Structures are given as structure tokens and as C-alpha cells.
Amino acid sequence: MVYLDNNATTPLDPDVAEKMSRFLKEYFGNPSSLYPIGREVKEMVNEARETIAKTLRAIRTEIIFTGSGTEADNFVLRGVLEAFPEKKELITSAIEHPAILSTAHYLEKTGVKVTYVPVDKTGMIDLDFLKDAVTPHTALISIMHANNELGTIQPIEEVVIIAKEKDILVHTDAVQSFGKIDVDVKKLGVDLLSISAHKIYGPKGVGALYVRKGTKIHPLIHGGHQEREMRAGTENTIGIIGFGEAVRVMKEKGPEDKKRIEKLAQRLKKGIEETIPKAKFNGHQEKRIKGTINFSFLNLEAEAILLALATKDIYVSTGSACSEGAEEVSHVLNAIGLRPEIARSSIRMSLGRFNTEQDIDTVLRELPPIVENLRKISALDIEEED
């Protein structure tokens, strides 16, 4: 199998699987219990919290565990807007993940004014537009760190400069950047940041929100005292232990992973450009997560390519996995100005820790004839755009 959909999810790292399986067999205590079998689990949860905090250059009490990256994103938008009832404005971008966009749409229905910052054709936000969109009523600016479909990395530090002049909180959805590039809350200067375990070879169904000390935000779930009363409910202990271990392994293997993935991705990108005519690269050439490669194969339906590749045991995506099947054309590709028929021909390949040179050989052998054969039977005939 050649798995090139690591932005959708990653396989569990064997070290993480090992740690989780040991935990499952040996520990069952409730972290809120005061006797030893509860306390030892609480300590392990806090160890995971410490590992994650240190990696982000935060402190332990600034990390709140959530049920997913999506939950962390919901939490931020709703929690901050609720905490500032006198400020009813939110600024975000047109290419956010549905976890942000759908929450923003929900907030609009409750009377919040949302401004969507447009992007250029590389997927980079328009900073001048953002600057002009800020008003005294802006409670929060939420701009993703790296885009899941294109890999484009946003200038978060510059967003922070604009926001801080006006005392506005800044959130970044770092679900796709964490583990792929340096994610340092101090360097970025953000107040809030979301991450998710299953994008970094950890388990699904656990995420975290960084909340800078002193930041005003309303709780997401009311109940017991867990997660500093911000997100009540008995903790997903197994998920949290796995998340912590995934981050520990990431620190160990991350630098080597990054080098290898970049090299493989570069070979794949170059190979496609050299062997497949009318293959249009989408995204920023430099400022992007290098392991994310998005191409439009003009005159084809991406789904046909995806299915043909799947018959060869090669797995790619036609866009964000979460939105697959849910919309005609990706809102991200639409926002970078691709015509619908070109957007519908786009494939995302995202590399990860377990990809090999052989995987790239396989794709470069199988993909060109698939595209060629499908084009022979395609009724479409679009000329390449500049």
C-alpha cells in the first residue's frame, strides 16, 4: 500500500501504540480520584500535558485537552465571542477548515458579524484586507497556520502585529502545521492555538487548545472540575496518554522525518511536472508544508484518478477528507480562483513518516498512464491557464 493521505490522518506510531496498549491493560483509575490509582493516572495525564506544553513553548496550565481539533476550534470561536459580549465581530479567512468555517456560520446566525479574508492564487491571505477589516468591535482574529489542502503557510506573526495594535485576540488552527514545521506559541505570538493528535501519528478523537495565561474565554462544557473547569467531563485518558507519547516521538523523529519527507515530496512534485502534461501545481511554491502536494490534472475528474489509483493500492485525496462528498468544489480551490472544472480535477497527495523512496517510484510509474488513459476518454478539453 502507498498511503499518501497523511493530512487526512496518520497511522499510529508503533511506540505510541505500545504505550497506549500498556496503559489500557494496567491503568483504569479516574484522574479525579484522590487515592493512588486515580492519582497515578492524573500524573500521567499531566506528564502528557507537560510534554505538549513544552513542545509548543507554553506552560502546562495553558493546555486544555479536547475531543478533537474540531472541538478546539469550536471552543475558541464560541468561547471568545461569548466572553466579549460587547464585541460581536470575528475575522477569519476564506480557506479555513470546516471546523472554523461552520462555527463561524453558526455564530453569524447568533448575530456575530464575520469577515472572511480572501487569499491570492497561492492561498496566502490578503494582509491589507485584514488590516482594513479590523474594527473596535473585533473580538478575535482566527487564521489557520497551514492549509490542509494546499499546505500554504500563513504569515501569523504579521497577523499578530496587526491585532496587537488594537488589542485583539489571535487564534491559529495549527492542526496541519504541528509536527511538520516549528510551532512555537511565543514566536508566533498567538493567544490561542489548536492541535490534534491523529495528524501526528497519535490516536484519533483527542486534541488540545493552547490558551495563553490570562486570556478571557468561556468554558465549553460545564460539569466537574476537569481541565480547569473549561471542558468538564472525565478525561479521555488513553487518548491523552497517546497524544503525549506521539509528541515525545515527534521530538525524537521530527527533524529526520522533515528532511526525508521534503526530499521525497520534491522528487514526486518534479516527477509529476516532468512526466504529466497539463498538470497544474496549486499552492505556494516556497511558503508551504513541503509534504503536501496539490495538482490539477486538466480535463479529468479527480475522483476518477483517485479510484484508478486505489485499484493500484495508492491512496490520495481529492480535497479535505472531512469535506469529501459534501461539496461540489473545494472552497479552498474556489478561493484561490480555480474555475470549478479545474478545481474538480485536483488531487492532494500528503506524505508522512512512513513513506519511502519506493512509494514515490510506484506513484511515478502508475500515475502518468492513469492520467493519459483517462484523458483519452475524457470529453473535456480545457487549455492550460497561465
Could you list the beta-strand ranges (E) of the chain: 2-3, 63-66, 89-93, 113-117, 138-142, 169-173, 192-196, 207-211, 279-282, 292-297, 314-315, 346-350
Q: Which is nearer to ligand PLP, 51 or 196 (CB)?
A: 196
322 contributes a contact to ligand PLP by CB under 6 A? yes
CB of 311 to ligand PLP, least distance (A): 25
Among 173, 235, 257, 359, binds ligand PLP (CB under 6 A): 173
- For ligand PLP (CB under 6 A), the number of binding residues is 15
332 contributes a contact to ligand PLP by CB under 6 A? no
What is the strand order of the sheet 346-350 is part of?
279-282, 292-297, 346-350
Which span sits near ligand PLP by CB under 6 A: 46-54, 64-72, 130-138, 263-271?
Answer: 64-72
The single residue listed with the C-alpha cell 470546516 is: 98
Q: Which is nearer to ligand PLP, 87 or 198 (CB)?
A: 198
What is the dihedral sign for C-alpha 178, 184, 188, 190?
positive
Crossing angle (nearest 10°) for helices 98-109 and 69-83: 30
- Bridge partners, residue 152, by sequence: 288
Whole-Å CA distances, 75 to 48, 220, 228, 315: 21, 6, 14, 32
Q: Which is nearer to ligand PLP, 44 or 144 (CB)?
A: 144
99 contributes a contact to ligand PLP by CB under 6 A? yes
Three-class secondary structure of residue 8 per DSSP? coil
Q: Which is nearer to ligand PLP, 84 or 116 (CB)?
A: 116
The single residue listed with the C-alpha cell 461552520 is: 102
Radius of gyration of the chain (CA): 21
Among 97, 258, 288, 331, binds ligand PLP (CB under 6 A): 97
Give residue number: closest CB to ligand PLP: 69
175 contributes a contact to ligand PLP by CB under 6 A? yes
Burial (CB < 10 A; 0-12, 13-18, 19+), residue 259, is: exposed
Which DSSP letter does residue 181 get?
Answer: B
CB of 372 to ligand PLP, least distance (A): 31
148 contributes a contact to ligand PLP by CB under 6 A? yes
Q: Which is nearer to ligand PLP, 8 or 230 (CB)?
A: 8
Contact characters 234-273, ligand PLP, x per CB under 6 A: ----------------------------------------
Q: Residue 371: which H helix or E strand, with range?
A: helix 357-376
Among 31, 69, 79, 291, binds ligand PLP (CB under 6 A): 69
350 contributes a contact to ligand PLP by CB under 6 A? no
Q: Residue 265: which H helix or E strand, with range?
A: helix 237-275
Q: Which is nearer to ligand PLP, 321 or 364 (CB)?
A: 321
Cell numbers standing for residue 187: 514566536
Whole-Å CA distances, 59 to 42, 184, 313: 17, 12, 43
Among 10, 176, 226, 317, binds ligand PLP (CB under 6 A): 176
* Contact indicator for 73, 103 with CB cutoff of 8 Å: yes
* Active-site residue identified among 322, 329, 364, 374: 322
Among 55, 68, 292, 362, binds ligand PLP (CB under 6 A): 68
Contact characters 105-144, ligand PLP, x per CB under 6 A: ---------------------------------------x
294 contributes a contact to ligand PLP by CB under 6 A? no
Reply yes or no on whether 238 is catalytic.
Answer: no
- Bridge partners, residue 296, by sequence: 280, 346
C-alpha to C-alpha distance for 122 and 265, rounded to whole angstroms: 18
Which span sits near ligand PLP by CB under 6 A: 63-71, 243-251, 257-265, 273-281?
Answer: 63-71
CB of 283 to ligand PLP, least distance (A): 14
Name the residues that contact ligand PLP, by CB under 6 A: 68-70, 73, 97, 99, 144, 148, 173, 175-176, 196, 198, 207, 322
By annotation, the residues acting in catalysis are 322
